[in-house]
Amino acid sequence: MDKGIIINQTRQWVEEVIVGFNFCPFAKPVVDTGGVAYEVINETSLERCLEGLAEQLKKLQQQPEIETCLVIFPVGYEAFDQYLDLLAWSEELVEDMGFEGVFQLASFHPDYCFEGAELDDAANYTNRSPYPMLHLIREKSIEVALKTVKEPEKIPLRNIEFAREKGRVEMAKHLAKCLK
């Protein structure tokens, strides 16, 4: 798959859905300053994907001007269960590399479904993305950003309520729009 197209679609999703709906109140300043890196790993092998993820973690460590990175896996992890396996191995990788407490993973997938939620619950769209991806976030940045937001613990609930008010059909339209 063409990396440029994948990155442009993902960038559009970040700008229109994540920033546009304020799902992450910390995202806009990072996007505005160009602090988001995008990396596409066009591999189906778990080993190769983890190698690519390790490279991105090292890159973030060495380049503090990159605030955060979206690592996109457009092939091989289309099934949500397979993606969850990749996520589990990725979390272990972060720990094995000594980055626990330094970097945090957030997960996004086109078929994301919260545990215990119905597949068609609009709330799932808070974590649905154009492609399977892992978001590498600096823990320090989260700590700083949390100080600027009133009641940050309410962000997930606010996002869920917003998505449910919009409705599944409307949320699906916004996601599909990013793939055009």
- pLDDT by residue (tens digit) across 17-58? 999 999 988 899 999 999 999 999 999 999 999 999 999 999
Let me know: does 124 contact 82? Beta carbons within 8 Å. no
Neighbours of 6 (CB within 10 A): 20
Let me know: does 108 contact 132? Beta carbons within 8 Å. yes
Q: Which residues contact 100 (CB under 8 A, 6 or more apart)?
A: 94
Q: Which residues partner with 37 through β-bridges? A: 69
Segment 58-78 shows an average pLDDT of 96
d(Cα 179, Cα 157) in Å, to the nearest integer? 27
d(Cα 84, Cα 109) in Å, to the nearest integer? 9
Q: Is the pLDDT of residue 1 over 90?
A: no
Residue type, 137: I
pLDDT of residue 150: 81
Banded pLDDT at 152 (limits 50, 70, 90): confident
Structure tokens of 160?
Answer: 């869920």
Question: In this prediction, what percent of the chain has a pLDDT beyond 90?
Answer: 87
Q: Is the pLDDT of residue 153 over 90?
A: no
Q: Is the pLDDT of residue 148 over 90?
A: no
Let me know: does 178 contact 12? Beta carbons within 8 Å. yes
Let me know: does 25 contact 155? Beta carbons within 8 Å. yes
Map residue 45 onto helix, strand or coil: coil
Q: Is the pLDDT of residue 110 over 90?
A: yes
d(Cα 178, Cα 120) in Å, to the nearest integer? 19
